[in-house]
Every structure is written in structure tokens, then in C-alpha cells.
Amino acid sequence: MIRIENPSKKEYENIMQFLEESFDHSRGFFYRSFPQVMSKETLDYDNIFIIRQNKMIASLIGIYPQNVVLNGRETTIGGIGSVSTHPDFRNKGYMKILMDFCIEEMKRRNYSFSILGGDRQRYNFWGYETCGANAVFTFSQRAFEKTGITSTVLVSRYDGSIETLQDIKEAHEKFPCYIERTIPWYKKVFDERIHTQLYYTRIRNSFAYAVAVGERTERTIVEIGGDSNLWCSLINQLLKRWNANEISVNFPANIPETNVLLKHASRFTIGPFFMIKILSLKDTMDFLFGKDFENEYLAKITETKEIAGKGKKLVELDEKKWVRILFGPFSLDTPDFLKKKQSQFYWWFLDHI
């Protein structure tokens, strides 16, 4: 009988080596890329699930719980990461066993939904579907000149200041949707994460920041926040600082602040960028639209037979279609009761695992 267990803290180096070999990544890739969850101090062994063969780690999956806030409503979701099987032990069904186990474990914990990044054809099997609405805005100095952004701001780089991290935390939590982060979490990311730079500007009582990932001409801004009146001047100043022709900024596609960036972008695209599996339709609907909305709908997931809502007309769809409808970007097959609703859920890139 195949046994699923948690590794011990003594096995940290073995876990890192296993992941590096399974993904064929360079040595140190995982804790340098994700120090907030994969360093010796932050790895949560109780949420790492493994199968052994011949006393060696053969397959591994991690559950990464995240507390998320959306317009004041809170829930816990289950991030899935580090899905891997060692090359010597593939084609034995270990990944399926672990995925089945982790999905049931997340349901047992009453998580609303699960989230991951990966191949659609691989994870469709478990009911995950590609979704979300991420806008990628491209900016150039020429575009800023055309739209009247000529002012410059003084830009500083993060130097380890806890005060700066506190300002960023407060600024980020003003968005409609965010994953709860602690100051130690921010410190791990900006002190230790490779290819990640934090810039900010202060003008009197105003503050804005931008997080860039990459090096030299390959940078992308994956998060921006604070006073939106400073965003474009900050981006423009970074373009000049880097001597770059263009820079792309990732941002939610469906919140009011999106218009600030849209006005000055030279071009943009909008597309899905993560995968979700609904674990509880009721909890997901309550989180996205509020508990008062349950009187407006009656919904059923075909595969799980779960029924949610207190409305009169039952709408039954398969679980992947529900994901596309609730989290976007498609509006095909949207039931009447959701046609005037739009989810503002957004998984910021720094929270990806």
C-alpha cells in the first residue's frame, strides 16, 4: 500500500535536491526564487506531502494556504505548488495519488477554492481551469510624452527599511483584492528573492512603489501600488533610470485603478494567468459576491452534485465552466443572475508559488 507522509525538518536539503532534479533547475533555484515559503526557516513541512520508494522521495506536492481578502470579505484558498515526481519514479501514478489526496485535504480544511499555475491539459483532469484577467500594459517614454507625463520623481531603492515595508503593506491592502502578507514575508521577498527589485518614491505625504522582476533590459513590473497619481511618473523615471525603450506592467484588468494605467499605455493585452478548482461553490460565491447574493441564484456543479444558493431557477454547469464564468475572462454561457456581476479576484504575481 502506498503511504503518503510529511517529510521531517532534517530532510530540507534532500527536498531541495529532489525538486532541482525533478524540474531540472539549477542548484538553489527554489529557495532563491521563493524564500518566503521555501527557505529553511519558512518551509511548512506539515503541508508538504510525499511518497517514498526505496526510502527515497519519489513524488511531492505542497499545499500553500493563503488568506485572501476581497472587498472586505475573507476566505482561505489552497495554493498548489512543487508538483513533482523524480525522473527515476515516473509513470507509476504517484502524482495522481498525491493530487487526489491534496484536493480531499483542502476540502477537509474548508478552503473555498484551490489555485495553481500550470498546464491546462494536465490539471483539467482534476477540475482546474485557466482563468483570471491580468492586464499587461506596455509603457514607453514616447507614450508618456504624448500623454503629458513629463514630471520626474525621486526614486529610491529598498535598503532594508522596515518602515518602507510597512508603507508598502498598507498601500497594497488598499486594493480590492489581496493575499494577507506579513512584514517578515515582505522582508524575505525583498531581502532574499533573486531578480527582484523594489523601488519607491515619496512626495510630501504621498507614497508609491513598484516591484520589478528580472535584470537590466529584461525587467517587468509585477506590482505597483500607493498613490495612483504617482504611478506613471514613477514608471517613467524607471524607464530613464534603466535606459529602456519600454517596460511592461502587470495589473488587475477589472478594478477602477486600471484606468490610470490604461490612459498612458502604448499598448496592452488582457488574458488569463492562473488555474482554479472550486472546492466549495457556496463558499466561493459568498466570497466573490457576498452572502446576501445567495438569494439571487441556485447553482449546481455537475461533477460534485454540490448545490449552492437559495434562488428559484437551478443552473447546472460543469466545474470548469463555473470557473471560467466566475473568474473570467470568458462571458460565454454566463447565467442571467451573473451577467451584472464581475469578480475582482486577482492573484498578484508575488503571491504565486
| Conformation bin of residue 277: beta by default, left when phi > 0, alpha when psi is -120 to 50 | beta
Q: What is the pTM of this model?
A: 0.95
Neighbours of 41 (CB within 10 A): 10
First and final C-alpha spacing in the chain = 31
Q: Distance between CA 286 and CA 7 in Å, rounded?
A: 35
Provide the grid cell at 68: 485572501
Neighbours of 24 (CB within 10 A): 8
Give the class (CATH, top level) of 4-111. Answer: alpha beta
Only one residue has cell 514630471, namely 151
* pLDDT at residue 331, as a whole number: 74
* pLDDT at residue 214, as a whole number: 96
* pLDDT at residue 339, as a whole number: 87
Instruction: Give the residues of the chain that fall short of pLDDT 50.
Output: none
> Which residue, 257, 261, 249, is CA-closest to 199?
249
> Which residue, 191, 129, 193, is CA-closest to 165?
191
Q: Write the CB contacts of 17 (distance below 8 Å, at least 6 apart in sequence).
A: none
Provide the grid cell at 62: 505542497
| Shared fold status for 4-111 and 134-271 | yes
Q: Write the CB contacts of 203 (distance below 8 Å, at least 6 apart in sequence).
A: 153, 154, 230
Can you give the residue ranges of every domain in the chain? 4-111, 134-271, 274-349
Tell me the per-residue pLDDT of 245-287, one tens digit each, with 9 for 90 and over.
Answer: 999 999 999 999 999 999 999 999 999 999 999 999 999 999 9
Domain 134-271 is of which CATH architecture?
3-Layer(aba) Sandwich (3.40)
User: What is the residue-averaged pLDDT of the chain?
Assistant: 96
Tell me the per-residue pLDDT of 78-89, one tens digit each, with 9 for 90 and over.
Answer: 999 999 999 999
